[in-house]
Structure 1
Amino acid sequence: MSLRKWFYLFWTTLLIGAGGAVIAGLALQIVNGGIQFKSTADFFLYALILLGYGALVSVYAQLGFFAYLILNYTGIGVFPRKAWRYIQLVLAVLALLELMFLRTFVSGDRSVGSDLTLGVAILLTALMVSWFKIRSTNASAWVPTFFFMTAITIVEIIGVLRIGVDSATVFILVPLIACNAFQILMLHRILKPASL
């Protein structure tokens, strides 16, 4: 990957994260009836804060993406390719099960509904992104894409899950999933050698 391609990926992911945060933040304001803006300037200031927050989330998503690329490279070097695919699939399923059920049973005070909804949303998004990745590349991209969109995304949201507030989870999850989906779907296009 050249510096120019990485620069393109960085800035486009930054814009997607900022846009996702604005959409999530304004949608949560409409649904929850939160802040009452006193003027138009207050509304634009709030949107500017959301843009900055989304940019921070996108940088966090990019750190997770490059950590996944290093993990995948190491896994391919240590395990046979077929075994590494199975390991990723098992880890993705375990991460989803932990998110949907184990947190509720261990803590006892959480409702299973919000965790189950979150897990199903991540699962459906991962399946959809994996389907698009297969259509753009080949069938062997399904497991790595599914693993990245489930296990890595769940690891990235662990901090907000400890807060235990559903609005905060949605607020970080929307731009994070948008950034992760964009990065994994763009990877093969960015790594494609330039035509001579």
Structure 2
Amino acid sequence: MRKWFYLFWTTLLIGAGGAVIAGLALQIGNGGIQFKGTADLLLYSLILLGYGVLVSVYAQLGFFAYLILNYTGIGVFPRKAWRYIQLVLAVLALFELMFLRTFVSGDQSARTDLTLGVAILFTALIVSWLKMRSTNASAWVPTFFFMTAITIVEIIGVLRIGVDSATIFILVPLIACNAFQILMLHRVLKPATI
């Protein structure tokens, strides 16, 4: 229980830090709002921290939903079949994000969706490789599935807004939280030595 508690609080901190970094970087990059003083900057940073905590809780809900889905998938399908199913679903989620959204809605920018999909794919490949190096080769597909398909499901709400800065603002802390949780999972599940 102590390890899960640690995972919860560290994920909160990572989400808060990711939101502060993304929010301040977006403000600086866009010319930003003019702060009248240090108090305004501190208040803005506090708002970003709160938002990051909310995003991290949302990421944790997605993580536990994934754990339940994975447990159910392993129980229903043979392990090898479940790996292929996860791989196909991950590729379909990326395909939908990068191409189908542009063709169906027409008003979205194809370049933005493609950039977002490539960023998620690149991050998923790196995190999957790190997870595989930390555990074993069979961890690659579930990690890739979590970092692509589950992350895309988690950002559907912000994608409907259609504002690039809002997407970046939620995606940075969300990916940081998801990567941290999946990379820490084997450490949390490892039995304690006495």
Q: 1:125 aligns with which of 123, 132, 140?
A: 123
The separation in 2 between residues aligned to 1:6 and 1:139, in whole angstroms, is 24
Q: TM-score, normalised by structure 1?
A: 0.98
What is the DSSP-based 3-state SS (H/G/I as helix, E as strand, rest coil) of the residue aligned with 1:109? coil
Corresponding residue number in structure 2 for 1:6: 4
Q: CA deviation at 1:90?
A: 0.2
The separation in 2 between residues aligned to 1:111 and 1:58, in whole angstroms, is 28
What is the DSSP-based 3-state SS (H/G/I as helix, E as strand, rest coil) of the residue aligned with 1:155? helix
Matches within 5 A, 1:8-157: 8-157=6-155
Q: CA deviation at 1:7?
A: 0.8
Q: CA deviation at 1:50?
A: 0.3
Q: 2:189 aligns with which of 182, 188, 191?
A: 191
**Gaps in structure 2 of 5+ consecutive residues:** none
Give a deviation string over 1:103-141, Cα, whole Å, max 9, x none. 000011111000000000000000000010011000000
Q: CA deviation at 1:155?
A: 0.1
The separation in 1 between residues aligned to 2:58 and 2:109, in whole angstroms, is 28
Q: CA deviation at 1:34?
A: 1.9
Give a deviation string over 1:64-93, Cα, whole Å, max 9, x none. 000000000000000000000000000000
The separation in 2 between residues aligned to 1:109 and 1:135, in whole angstroms, is 41
Identity of aligned residues (%): 90
The separation in 2 between residues aligned to 1:95 and 1:160, in whole angstroms, is 16
The separation in 2 between residues aligned to 1:30 and 1:135, in whole angstroms, is 37
The separation in 2 between residues aligned to 1:108 and 1:47, in whole angstroms, is 36
Q: CA deviation at 1:33?
A: 1.0
Q: 1:177 aligns with which of 175, 178, 182?
A: 175
Aligned amino acid, residue 83 of structure 1 = A
Segments of 4+ in structure 1 off by > 6 A?
A: none
**Gaps in structure 1 of 5+ consecutive residues:** none
